[in-house]
């Protein structure tokens, strides 16, 4: 991992190179932006660069050597000057002031945490979450304050990284605020968040706030080409649906999007038959949505919406380069000839409403059934 391994984020990288040139890191940074855009990758590289015993200058960037003991220890979770704070499962942490967090965790949970942290450090764009975790508790902040007060760390700067900082409870944020109000010149906090509004204004005012914009489709596609044996069509689809998040792209790689898309188009075909085979439609929806979570259901809606947009492009004789589902061009042309006219935009409104219903926890099979019946009403009427 090096600065060049951070995907995109040119302005952010240039900013921190200026910081290193001036030799002064701030007491606290709030890195905000969607998941999988390089917030942790940047924090990790800052920690490595600042802690390295033999830093190098490569292509104008100050880089960690990757070989000294500090660099090795950081990558192996053995560097005492770094603390990671993240949500833990409910009921796993005692809120008593004299209790130890580690002692209250099971061996299995500790093993899971260590494994997830190692995976995250090996690939900073990998998803980091602990099963059943939802809150950063006040006991964790109290223990952090105690740890920072001890002198068992190495000489040099100390770092604290908060994953999903918005998951701090209000009392946790108030406890952390006391630490920020008493800044030390040898500590830097990184608050990584996808929901900056979930942090108290008093905390944000004490942080340098740095926005990480979504990655471009081209940046995500470049990474996928390097790391996965995917077709150009698959890379194009995944890059489009990742919504600027490399983490989301990784999740989609294993989702077999082409088969998922084909299943959705099959449902669309069934729903648009002159005589609706209701039982077949219900059975196919139940088969598709069995075990499906909200995120995958929303991915399905994006896939369907994107396919319909491609049909609009085809109907308007647009360039094939604008078509994401280029491998399905023949089907798109048949659909466009029969169903696409100026009213097709209402189909996108139907999909958006379905997305809202899923967000509102309506049962996924019911959402999909309503979706295809509404599209049927619209398209059968105008065909």
Query: Kind of pairing, strands 88-89 and 208-211?
Result: unpaired
Q: Which residues of the chain have pLDDT under 70?
A: 1, 91-103, 151-153, 381-383
Q: Give residue for tokens 């603390």.
A: 83
The pair phi, psi for residue 114, each rounded to 5°, is -60, -40
How far is residue 349's CA from residue 241's CA, in Å, rounded to a whole number?
Answer: 18
Could you give phi then psi for residue 186, rounded to 5 degrees?
Answer: -110, 15
**pLDDT in the model for residue 52:** 92
Q: State the pTM of this model.
A: 0.78
Is the distance from CB of 263 to CB of 269 less than 8 angstroms?
no
Cβ–Cβ < 8 Å for 257, 238: yes
User: What is the C-alpha to C-alpha distance for residues 383 and 381, in angstroms, rounded to an integer?
Assistant: 6
Place of tokens 């790391």: 227
- What letter would DSSP give residue 151? -
Residue 209 near residue 196, CB atoms below 8 Å? yes
3 state DSSP class of 156: coil
pLDDT of residue 383: 46
The alpha carbon of 274 is separated from its chain's Cα centroid by a whole number of angstroms, namely 42
């Amino acid at each position: 991992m090096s600065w060049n391994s951070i995907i995109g984020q040119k302005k952010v990288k240039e900013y921190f190179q200026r910081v290193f040139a001036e030799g002064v890191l701030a007491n606290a940074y709030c890195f905000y932006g969607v998941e999988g855009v390089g917030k942790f990758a940047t924090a990790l590289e800052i920690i490595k660069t600042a802690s390295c015993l033999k830093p190098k200058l490569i292509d104008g960037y100050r880089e960690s050597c990757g070989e000294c003991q500090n660099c090795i220890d950081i990558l192996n979770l053995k560097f005492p000057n770094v603390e990671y704070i993240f949500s833990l499962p409910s009921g796993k942490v005692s809120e008593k002031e004299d209790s130890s967090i580690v002692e209250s965790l099971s061996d299995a949970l500790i093993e899971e945490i260590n494994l997830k942290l190692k995976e995250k450090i090996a690939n900073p764009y990998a998803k980091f979450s602990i099963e059943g975790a939802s809150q950063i508790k006040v006991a964790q902040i109290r223990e952090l304050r105690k740890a920072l007060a001890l002198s068992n760390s190495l000489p040099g700067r100390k770092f604290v990284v908060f994953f999903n900082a918005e998951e701090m409870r209000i009392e946790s944020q108030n406890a952390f605020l006391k630490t920020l109000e008493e800044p030390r010149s040898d500590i830097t906090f990184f608050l990584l968040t996808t929901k900056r509004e979930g942090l108290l204004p008093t905390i944000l005012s004490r942080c340098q706030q740095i926005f990480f914009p979504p990655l471009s489709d081209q940046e995500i596609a470049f990474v996928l080409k390097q790391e996965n044996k995917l077709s150009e069509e698959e890379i194009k689809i995944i890059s489009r649906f990742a919504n600027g998040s490399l983490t989301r792209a990784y999740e989609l790689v294993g989702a077999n999007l082409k088969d998922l898309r084909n299943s959705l188009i099959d449902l669309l075909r069934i729903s648009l038959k002159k005589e609706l085979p209701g039982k077949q439609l219900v059975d196919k929806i139940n088969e598709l949505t069995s075990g499906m979570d909200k995120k995958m259901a929303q991915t399905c809606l994006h896939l369907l919406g994107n396919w319909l947009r491609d049909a609009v492009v085809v109907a308007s004789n647009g360039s094939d380069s604008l078509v994401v589902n280029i491998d399905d061009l023949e089907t798109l042309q048949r659909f466009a000839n029969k169903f696409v006219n100026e009213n097709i935009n209402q189909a996108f409104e139907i999909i958006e409403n379905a997305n809202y219903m899923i967000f509102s926890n309506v049962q996924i099979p019911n959402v999909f059934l309503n979706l295809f019946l509404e599209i049927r009403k619209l398209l059968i009427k105008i065909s």
